[in-house]
Amino acid sequence: MTGTSAKRFVSVALSCILIITAGPIDLSSQESSSGGSAGNPGQAARLSADELQQLVAPIALYPDALVAQVLGAATFPDQVSSADNWLQQNKKLTGTALMQAVDKEPWDPSVKALTQFPSILENLAKNLSWTSALGEAYHIQAADVMSAVQTLRAKATTAGNLKSGSQITVVQQSPDVIVIQPMNPQVVYVPQYNPTVVYGAPVQTPGYSTADVVATGLLAFGVGIAVGAAINNSCCGWGYSYWNCNWHGGAVVYRSNVYYGNNAWHGGVYGSSVTGYGPYGAARVGTAYNPSTGTYARGATVATPYGTRSAGQAYNPSTGTYARGTSATGPNGAAAVGQAYNPNTGAYGATRQTSNAYGNSGSSVVSKGGETAYTQHQTTAQGSVGTVQTSSGGRGVAASGAGGNAGAIETAGGNKYAAANGNVYKNTGSGWQQTQGTPSNQRSASNYSSASPSNSAARGWGQQERTSGASAFSGAGGSGWQSRAESARGSASRGGGRGRR
């Protein structure tokens, strides 16, 4: 690497620091109107009968009440993801205790009902693009979706793969309607099958995959789920027995009423916002959905005489990207954190930024394809410093102050390069050599002598990645992202109250 290349590397490293440490995602200021539309008014394109059959193939052979719950919950994919993550964090809860805890969450009844069937909820959360498309299709073409389910049931029956057994009863209620119910009303078995073969002819479902499909066209069943508590427990009116399908009316039924789920599925940008005022300040919450891009967003802001707090989250099922952010301002300064994760590509990023009367600082991390890069920066009255470190072993530091500026890097192979006020050095294994600038024996003492090759910055060590405080994963210092494992799950970025990973 030449001296010019070394200087260019330092410049690029500093640019990356500025790019990576951009502010967090803050959705709380998004303007939206209740029930209205903007941007792209009009209804989404209707799907053909074949497309609808492909879409409903993974659930068409579920018992009727489960079909109803899935179709309703699919209109709330952000809540599905949140509920699945919540279940992962509360695996010890079962039976009545689980239902009582779920009842306190701000999810739709259909989403709450599916917490009794964690395997189904997990499949919906794993395949959010498919879930989102299923929910949109049901809300816009409810009767067509119900008809598609019946068409597939008829095909599976003709192929000899759908019949009564010890887990389910299959009844031909009319020439066009096949009803599937649990053999024991208080125990529900979730059918497991391969949707590509069970219907007698290949049926592909775009955006849907599961490692648990059965190899043949036969139906298999997991452990039965006891729904007696859902029937008898008076705490929760959203349990299994409250759901059904009106096949003749072409819609889901919940508590004896037609149910279409999330009313945001009509095209354009939909949302709602609520603002409240009091003697101590104001608060505002809002949600929005754009079916043209597939993006869900929600946010909240609280303002008091002591400052403001805001938080936001977004999910795009088309790209698979989750994002969340929060910020706070007050008389002592400001702080912000942001995070984004795409499980489809494995790309992840997080940032934390703070500022006060003494300056500003921050840290960020980005990773993809097994490679990770960490950056930190700090600016005070004395100057600025920024560092970058990669998981492959490369690292760099750049600083500027009253005495001038300097930078140093070390490659993954161990080569070191440094630059200070136009003087460039390298060490590729045979000691330090100056490659550009004024020779040291010709410089005045007032020159930036502290950036000589003996200086730590010139040696290329720089500032190490911190394990607390400024780390984007640290639980300390208000970063709030805890561990890489939790960040990868995207727990608060998948919507819902906490609002995959």
Domain chopping of the chain, boundaries: 49-259
User: What's the rounded mean pLDDT across residues 18-40?
Assistant: 30
Amino acid 441: pLDDT: 66
Query: Under a CB-based contact definition with an 8 Å cutoff, are residues 488 and 477 in contact?
Result: no
- Which residues lie below 8 Å from residue 386, measured CB to CB, with a gap of 6+? 13, 14, 17, 375, 376, 377, 378, 397, 398, 399
**Rg for the chain (alpha carbons), in Å?**
29
CA–CA separation, 255 and 238 (whole Å): 8
Amino acid 217: pLDDT: 58
Amino acid 158: pLDDT: 94
- Helix (H) or strand (E) segment spanning residue 170: strand 168-174
State the sign of the Cα–Cα–Cα–Cα dihedral 63, 65, 66, 70: positive
Please, what's the b/e burial string for 134-146 (b: 16 or more CB within 10 A of its CB; e: otherwise)?
Answer: bbbbbbbbbebbb
Torsion of CA 184, 187, 193, 195, to 10 degrees: 90
More confident residue, 63 or 453: 63
CA–CA separation, 72 and 146 (whole Å): 12
pLDDT digits (tens, 9 = 90+) for 101-125: 999 998 999 999 999 999 999 999 8
Please, what's the b/e burial string for 29-60 (b: 16 or more CB within 10 A of its CB; e: otherwise)?
Answer: ebebeeeebeeeeeebeebeeeebbbbbbbbb
pLDDT digits (tens, 9 = 90+) for 191-248: 988 888 889 887 888 777 765 555 555 788 878 888 865 555 567 889 898 999 999 9
CA–CA separation, 319 and 334 (whole Å): 31
Does pLDDT of 372 surpass 60?
yes
Confidence of residue 137 (pLDDT cuts 50, 70, 90): very high
Does pLDDT of 23 surpass 50?
no
Amino acid 320: pLDDT: 66
Q: Which residues pair with 252 in a beta bridge?
A: 245, 259
More confident residue, 83 or 460: 83
CA–CA separation, 121 and 112 (whole Å): 10
- Size of the chain, expressed as the number of residues it contains: 501
Does pLDDT of 9 surpass 70?
no
Amino acid 29: pLDDT: 29
DSSP string, 189-234: PPEE--TTTTTSS----TT---TT--SSSS-EE-SPEE-HHHHH-T
Confidence of residue 414 (pLDDT cuts 50, 70, 90): confident
CA–CA separation, 28 and 297 (whole Å): 9
Instruction: Quote the pTM value.
Output: 0.55
Amino acid 265: pLDDT: 62
User: What's the rounded mean pLDDT across residues 439-453?
Assistant: 51
Query: Under a CB-based contact definition with an 8 Å cutoff, are residues 155 and 178 in contact?
Result: no
Highest mean pLDDT, choosing among 117-121, 314-318, 488-492: 117-121
pLDDT digits (tens, 9 = 90+) for 387-401: 999 888 889 888 888
CA–CA separation, 18 and 16 (whole Å): 5
Amino acid 42: pLDDT: 39
pLDDT digits (tens, 9 = 90+) for 260-310: 988 766 544 555 556 777 777 787 766 666 655 667 677 778 888 888 888
Query: Under a CB-based contact definition with an 8 Å cutoff, are residues 404 and 7 in contact?
Result: no
Paired tokens of 462: 């720089």
Amino acid, single-letter form, for residue 311: A
Amino acid 289: pLDDT: 64
Count of Cβ atoms closer than 10 Å to residue 350 Cβ: 25
User: Look-up: residue for tokens 């879930």?
Assistant: 131
Average pLDDT across the chain, whole number: 75
pLDDT digits (tens, 9 = 90+) for 157-195: 999 999 999 999 999 999 999 999 999 988 999 998 888
More confident residue, 112 or 433: 112
Nearest to 432 by CA among 410, 417, 448, 447: 417
Q: What percent of the chain has pLDDT over 90?
A: 29
